[in-house]
Structure 1
């Protein structure tokens, strides 16, 4: 009887403990101006989507709080030859459905990034083969030497081969075509958070993964992510305590957030560069008054647009000082950034002469595609650009829209003139060279070169940069590629925007310069 009483007492204690845990539910409420467009980690190479899905899925190699490389699903990696990397996989890891993580999932996931519909081709386009050595060892063989490969795969998340096959999601769906599959709305990763509920553009709920292999530096049991597109509504929700974390804080509201006794704005430089792209491939420019030809094929027209943009005026009036005008498609903090390269001067008269010399003395009309809920003051920047271009008699038909329709449109290249922002996921200039400036092919090079800029010499240098291990030689090649691209006016760089997160003073978190937001480093006191 005594033994039975002890058993009953233990059972009662466990029950009390369980109810105590249930009573201690800790929820962090996060808001952003936009939503992740899918839960499929291979369907859209967009930093907000990868930030959100990165709480559920994981790469082989991740990032520490200082953005240095960190072991994730691989515990170690080494280069066994100039074109072969070997990864030792973490043992004892389970997907959220209980399926063990093995080398088969790695081989499957990398192959998945190369199928039609994948937006991650530019990360793996130089892969020759991914092979299983044993259940916990894989090798990646590349077509050419690839010394920065561990950095490159840090945003390629691993999926369960079994789950994808069972749910008819062996390939990502093509966001450009607007179709979906099971992986669009459901998720089965290895990460610290499980997807509990998904209501696109309304609410996404995550719950803590009790079987996570690593340490979760958070006291939260749940995270609720809510898109709030209206700036004033989002700020009001933070100030009232309705949400705990939000981004971005509009630059004009930073002081207001800081003056509130219960909130603060965390600001800092961001690695993202905002730029404009122009269609340089079509024989006739889309959505333009010019018929039978494409003005953007003429460098003089591209340069006229560049020199007509008052970037310092945009910094002062639109960004309120919270931007860093750029001459390149990468900024400070990215390996290969060339600090001494300068923008072309703002010069309206020179721009008018360039247009006239190109055969457009009276300007022309063209549509401009911009998001209105993705970057800091994105629509306002585009409005300012349109006003600037009006001074050289170019009429811009501005089409600003939500990222949910904007990205599919521009990614299928249904545009002649567009805005884009880019953070090199490797924190290295090669990423921008390969994804934004390389001539477009069907393997993933130039996948986000949406205007199809092409200079074979830049391509040649990009391949050399990928293989070069001597830092001085490599930096010289990067510089040469950037100089060629700048001389061609391949794109129009604008600026690096500044980060501004609004945070309750009850919340502790880590702000990363790539604007990713890992929930595992976020805690709240009640």
Structure 2
């Protein structure tokens, strides 16, 4: 089986030429939800955006930070509450407009508005200001030690283009709003948008005015991006040559793809955890059979449900070995990850039944599980397996699986009581997890926290992370927050995903741990 590891760079770059011309035909299970760069903080959405638009700072395919629209950055020598970014000069947007500091100020202010799904990344920001045509200052509420980490997926728009096209406001995706920016784009990235048919095909072509010419391979001169939800159809398209590259090879087809001449499977651990979330805060649930009470509000029930999940069985049977059981909702890449916590999930049906009885639910209860069927590797199959496992402790689960475009608004609109979610951490720091998933939901934080959990003391400690420059003390606070998260069991960790990219053998690339290929790095040999 030709599985190459994350570090086998040399082997990856010695492939034989198979991609015809320089057009890369790319497929994955689901489409981007929108082209509005600030509306949805969702993996496939930001991955497509990365081809068209750019942040100030970017991560390459190893996960290392490098310059993009900013060339240098650092805290101000005069004020530790100010980060100074020097911008790249001579950059143009796809329509020929010049890029400057006004575009950065506009984009960051836009990303801090209520409908933005990126506002948590800028929650500590008090002001963004232009200190010159190519200098931007970000003023924070106390020194922010990881501000650059927060900007790697924060895309910059053309202020004049947005104003001319009525796109100054972020699309209200959860509210069903459709906007010009949802289907059109004008970025500074290596590829410009040619056509867009949501859930059908998106066509991009190389931007001949790209500033990075000569700095990046840019061997791919055109991209045809096609979402193919059905796993068998997706693999068949790769095997037949209809597509050149798929991000999510189904685990049951790994050997078949890897054993085909001219095709490779390349694999790496992903910076992502898959888990279940629960409505722990409401007094009563809409989707259970218990009147006047919320069984998920009892931590004993939550822990029992976690103990009923056999993660090793999911790994072996559902994932065919392509996952690593998880005990916390942080991947090993992330500052704050703890090996003991991540090894803490155990399957113990007798202990789980005892906890259910102690909580007053010895006879069990029924509840609906909301699950996507086109977002994570074998997502619906994982949910199906979990239904049987939870039944062993009396929890009858009614599974409702649907495409991510219908699934994610359930979380945003607080219309689910029990749901699957996966979470990657592009900042490589636990603060990102806490800001989005643990802090109580308000106008700055908690936009992906559908658990209704809130804890005032914990919220304050989470906010303080953004201005704690004593890294030892900050790490101690992170550890203390994780202790509470683990004790409260507001999430049921399942596993860390393993990435399997399938492609024609002449595509030279390593696997990005964020599952976000940036086509400007690819080499066609």
User: TM-score, normalization: structure 2?
Assistant: 0.93
User: 339-348 or 132-141: which moved more?
Assistant: 339-348
Deviation at 1:336, TM superposition (A): 1.8
C-alpha distance in 2, partners of 1:102/1:225? 30
C-alpha distance in 2, partners of 1:417/1:309? 14
**Structure-1 residue corresponding to 2:202:** 204
Partner of residue 86 from structure 1, selected from 64, 84, 87: 84
Cα shift readout 1:199-245 (whole Å, capped 9, x = no counterpart): 00000000000000113412222100000111111111111111100
Cα shift readout 1:244-288 (whole Å, capped 9, x = no counterpart): 000201111111111101111101100101111001222211211
Which secondary structure does the structure 2 equivalent of 1:174 belong to? Answer: coil
Change (3 A) 1:472 1:116: closer
C-alpha distance in 2, partners of 1:229/1:370? 15
Confirm or deny that 1:338 pairs with 2:334: no
CA contact (8 A) 1:26 1:221 kept: yes
**Structure-1 residue corresponding to 2:140:** 142
Confirm or deny that 1:108 pairs with 2:106: yes
Confirm or deny that 1:73 pairs with 2:69: yes
Partner of residue 31 from structure 2, selected from 15, 26, 35: 35
**Structure-2 residue corresponding to 1:160:** 158
| Unaligned stretches of 5+ residues in structure 1 | 1-23
Cα shift readout 1:37-77 (whole Å, capped 9, x = no counterpart): 11111110001110111111101111233222211111111
C-alpha distance in 2, partners of 1:338/1:464? 21
Deviation at 1:406, TM superposition (A): 1.1
Which secondary structure does the structure 2 equivalent of 1:389 belong to? Answer: helix
Which secondary structure does the structure 2 equivalent of 1:483 belong to? Answer: helix
**Structure-1 residue corresponding to 2:476:** 476
CA contact (8 A) 1:326 1:494 kept: yes
Partner of residue 126 from structure 1, selected from 115, 124, 127: 124
C-alpha distance in 2, partners of 1:140/1:288? 47
Partner of residue 180 from structure 1, selected from 171, 178, 189: 178
Matches within 5 A, 1:256-275: 256-275=256-275
Matches within 5 A, 1:237-248: 237-248=237-248
CA contact (8 A) 2:31 2:227 kept: yes
Which secondary structure does the structure 1 equivalent of 2:293 belong to? Answer: coil
**Structure-1 residue corresponding to 2:8:** none
Deviation at 1:25, TM superposition (A): 5.6
Which secondary structure does the structure 2 equivalent of 1:184 belong to? Answer: helix
Matches within 5 A, 1:235-314: 235-314=235-314
C-alpha distance in 1, partners of 2:251/2:284? 39
C-alpha distance in 1, partners of 2:321/2:474? 33
Structure number with greater Rg is: 1
CA contact (8 A) 2:311 2:325 kept: yes
Which secondary structure does the structure 2 equivalent of 1:140 belong to? Answer: strand
CA contact (8 A) 2:90 2:99 kept: yes
C-alpha distance in 2, partners of 1:144/1:154? 21
Deviation at 1:123, TM superposition (A): 1.0
RMSD of aligned alpha carbons: 1.4
Relative contact order (alpha carbons < 8 A, sep ≥ 6): 1 or 2 greater?
2
Cα shift readout 1:275-303 (whole Å, capped 9, x = no counterpart): 11001222211211112221111111111
